[in-house]
Homo-oligomer: A and B are copies of this chain.
């Protein structure tokens, strides 16, 4: 089924007229299989073995392209670097204040907030983001 998602994503790339290079394929595949939400550098390091000559710029370029097409989302939290996430299903994130772990959780999309914001501000709303913060199970246990 991960295979299926990869094939779909590649079809989307083709439809957009974007070339499918080995590096681009690898970045996409890595993101699709990632259980976490890696930074650009983490992706770079993970693919270094397979592509010893790959440039960091290539990772950034591909992430930008994948973002423009809508296959990938960029998440910015308080820390120094952005994280990237395959844009698959409707879910939000909960983030541990202590260790930084990011866990998905599903919740119906907050359409009501969007429409209210639209009315009040006069904006033409496109989307929203929501993150919940707290302390994860592990970090609660190892309190002292």
A binding-site residues for B, Cβ under 8 Å: 74, 76-78, 82, 92, 94, 96-97, 103, 105-107, 110, 113-114, 116-118, 120-137, 140
Q: Which 7 A-B pairs have the closest CB atoms?
A: A125-B134, A123-B134, A128-B132, A76-B76, A124-B135, A117-B132, A130-B130
Contacts of A106 in B (CB 8 A): 120
Task: Tell me the bound Cα distance from A32 to B10 in angstroms.
Answer: 49
Give complex CA distance A132, B129 in Å: 6
- Within the oligomer, what is the number of copies of this chain? 2
Give bound CA distance, A38 to B126, whole Å: 24
Q: Is the CB of A110 within 8 A of B130?
A: yes
Contacts of A110 in B (CB 8 A): 110, 113, 130
Contacts of A137 in B (CB 8 A): 122-123
Nearest residue, chain B, Cβ from A128: B132
A136, B117: Cβ atoms under 8 Å?
Answer: no
A-B contact pairs, 5 of them (CB 8 A): A78-B82, A94-B117, A107-B117, A113-B132, A117-B132
